[in-house]
């Protein structure tokens, strides 16, 4: 089986991809997630409503220290890049799980946003919001 996020080969026993950290959920195979309002080749038969998956993240003391050193040299702060990518995947997994729990087989209008929680705590919130729908292939 291949990871739906990075394409890495994962075994059927794995719960997470060893390359990108995405959850490997055999039950979500065939579930469609789209940023567009429609899915080409499918017809929306029922709209179930808006669903959201959130994940607040912060770096620990060591992560902030490494990021501080990286920022002195300019360019990408890789210690944050990996954490934000994991958070994005987690938010998408959560929104998909919520949609599946109400009977959806697809999400349309998927929107992923980031925001700083404030509080001077260095907490970033990643949110994935979409419309849960039931689709069927067009004939």
How sure is the predictor about 64, in pLDDT bands with cuts at 50, 70 and 90? Answer: low
What pLDDT is stored for residue 117 in this prediction? 72
What pLDDT is stored for residue 33 in this prediction? 93
Domain 31-137 in this protein, CATH class: alpha beta
Residues 4-59: pLDDT tens digits? 666 778 777 776 677 766 666 666 667 899 999 999 999 999 999 999 999 988 76
* 6 vs 88: CA distance, rounded Å: 13
Burial class of 109 by CB neighbour count within 10 A (0 to 12, 13 to 18, 19+):
middle
Token pair recorded at residue 31: 């579930």
Biggest CA-to-CA distance, the chain: 58
Per DSSP, the three-state class of 74 is: coil
Strands (E), 58-118: 106-116
Mean pLDDT of all residues belonging to the chain: 81
CA angle (26, 27, 28) in 5-degree steps: 90
Quick one: which of 72, 42, 71, 51 has its CA closest to 139? 42
What is the torsional sign of CA 89, 13, 8, 41? negative
* 58 vs 72: CA distance, rounded Å: 20
Phi, then psi, of 131 in degrees rounded to 5: -100, 125
Domain boundaries, the chain: 1-29, 31-137
Per DSSP, the three-state class of 38 is: coil
How sure is the predictor about 104, in pLDDT bands with cuts at 50, 70 and 90? Answer: very high
Kindly report whether the global pTM for this prediction surpasses the value 0.95: no
Token pair recorded at residue 44: 């929306």
Residue 107 has pLDDT above 90, yes or no: yes
């Amino acid at each position: 089986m291949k990871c739906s996020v990075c394409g890495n080969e994962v075994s059927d026993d794995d719960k997470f991809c060893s390359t990108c950290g995405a959850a490997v959920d055999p039950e979500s195979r065939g579930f469609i997630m789209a940023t567009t309002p429609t899915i080409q080749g499918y017809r929306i038969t029922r709209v179930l409503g808006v669903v959201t998956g959130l994940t607040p993240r912060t770096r620990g003391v060591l992560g902030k220290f490494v990021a501080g050193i990286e920022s002195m040299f300019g360019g990408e702060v890789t210690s944050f890049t990996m954490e934000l990518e994991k958070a994005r995947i987690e938010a998408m997994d959560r929104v998909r799980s919520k949609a599946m729990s109400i009977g959806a087989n697809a999400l349309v209008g998927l929107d992923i946003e980031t925001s700083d929680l404030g509080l001077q705590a260095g907490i970033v919130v990643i949110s994935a919001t979409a419309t849960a729908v039931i689709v069927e292939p067009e004939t």
